[in-house]
Amino acid sequence: MAMEWEQVVVDATDAAALGRWWAEALGWVTVNDAPDEYEIRPERDRLPGVVFVPVPDDKIVKNRLHLDFRPDDQEAEVARLLALGARRADVGQGEQPWVVLADPEGNEFCVLGPRRG
């Protein structure tokens, strides 16, 4: 049996606003902006996507799943994401070669450094 990874679903207080933020952060396109879900993808017909769905409660604890990104230039990418509205996050990681950030609703993600040979 084969399975295709369709999307990651993210609960959000304001699904459209968070979806727009991630679309800009990733340079992805919006493929659905209905009131009950906001979906972005790398390209209209390319998977996987990220779907943001509205929920009534705020995020309270550390994510049990997070995304890691490996940019060409970690320092520049962290600066760009902070300028877009991300913030630095401390999840107990200590001193590491990656940077933990949180999106505008507090969802943590990592910006990795260069891949080691």
Residue ranges per structural domain of the chain? 1-56, 65-117
* Contact call for residues 16 and 33 (beta carbons, < 8 A): yes
For 44-71, the pLDDT digits (tens) are: 999 999 999 999 988 888 888 899 999 9
Say what the pLDDT of residue 91 is: 78
Say what the pLDDT of residue 93 is: 79
pLDDT beyond 80 at 105: yes
Give the domain 65-117 fold: 2,3-Dihydroxybiphenyl 1,2-Dioxygenase; domain 1 (3.10.180)
Does domain 1-56 bear CATH number 3.30.720.120? yes
For 2-42, the pLDDT digits (tens) are: 899 999 999 999 999 999 999 999 999 999 999 899 999 99
